[in-house]
């Protein structure tokens, strides 16, 4: 096995946003202050040139956010980790395997931090939320040792691994995860991608998920079974983890499936996920 130790993924920004300005143009920007609220409308940013593949550079020009968009216009892959919080494994009464549970979402699952989420009729009966710390890979990685893994992080953001639990049931789909979580826009992220320089330890972040203002999930990422570094190292073992890949790192306890009575989402419900230093996303479920 061989690997190359590279420099840290270049993040020439503090908080990367993608937005529409008052003139209707779509731009990348660097938000210099911690995000407050869920829309960021009216916030000032430095306009950036570039993209995830080629890097960003500041222009010195200031603009205002009229409408906040998903920070990534597209994605190479969305990789997701299941059963990665100890308290969640306990509430689910499931044994933790030696390696992380891995499933994927298609590119069309990507959605913005304030977008409505359309829900197909067959996905409505057991619709659930999963607030998650989300990682964006900043450069290609292969066979990365754990001590070097965080050097490959472009930044961190907030995510929600929306799940149609009906299609996770063993009697329905054999207990597999992928299909249940792969509907269009079932992966909202945002509001920005925060530079690793502002997040010295991704295992010391507070995560809160609310449904219609009621707290459902509240934990610190220290409860993760597999750390961000372990996840990146594992995902790059013998295979290339491409830059721009989104990694959802698992959800803590408090999902609707294990509430009594069940806390499944209904038409019009608003799910807000917040993580210290990263901001909040807020998405309304819209049944089709």
| pLDDT for residue 136 | 98
| pLDDT for residue 10 | 54
| pLDDT for residue 166 | 96
| pLDDT for residue 93 | 86
Per-residue model confidence as pLDDT tens digits over 116-138:
999 999 999 999 999 999 999 99
Residue 220 neighbours by CB distance under 10 Å: 14
| pLDDT for residue 5 | 37
| pLDDT for residue 83 | 92
| pLDDT for residue 94 | 85
Tell me the two tokens of residue 205. Answer: 């972040």
Q: Which residues of the chain, if any, have pLDDT below 50?
A: 1-8
């Amino acid at each position: 096995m061989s690997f190359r130790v590279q420099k840290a993924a270049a993040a020439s920004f503090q908080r990367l946003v993608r937005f529409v300005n008052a003139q209707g143009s779509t731009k990348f920007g660097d938000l210099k202050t911690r995000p407050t609220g869920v829309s960021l409308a009216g916030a000032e940013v430095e306009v950036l040139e570039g993209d995830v593949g080629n890097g960003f550079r500041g222009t010195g020009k200031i603009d205002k956010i009229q409408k906040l968009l998903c920070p990534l216009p597209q994605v190479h892959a969305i990789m997701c980790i299941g059963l990665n919080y100890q308290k969640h494994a306990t509430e689910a009464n499931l044994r933790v395997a030696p390696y992380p549970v891995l499933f994927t979402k298609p590119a069309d699952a990507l959605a913005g931090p304030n977008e409505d989420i359309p829900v197909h009729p067959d996905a409505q009966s057991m619709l659930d939320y999963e607030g998650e710390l989300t990682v964006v890979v900043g450069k290609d990685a292969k066979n990365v040792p754990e001590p070097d893994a965080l050097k490959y992080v472009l930044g961190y953001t907030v995510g929600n691994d929306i799940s149609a639990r009906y299609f996770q049931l063993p009697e329905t789909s054999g207990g597999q995860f992928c299909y249940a979580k792969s509907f269009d826009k079932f992966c909202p992220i945002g509001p920005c991608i925060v530079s690793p320089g502002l997040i010295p330890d991704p295992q010391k972040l507070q995560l809160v998920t609310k449904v219609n203002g009621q707290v459902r999930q509240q934990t610190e990422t220290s409860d993760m079974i597999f750390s961000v570094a372990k996840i990146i190292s594992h995902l790059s073992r013998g295979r290339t983890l491409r830059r721009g890949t989104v990694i959802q790192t698992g959800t803590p306890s408090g999902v609707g499936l294990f509430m009594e009575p069940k806390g499944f989402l209904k038409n019009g419900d608003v799910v807000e996920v917040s993580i210290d230093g990263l901001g909040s996303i807020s998405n309304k479920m819209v049944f089709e």
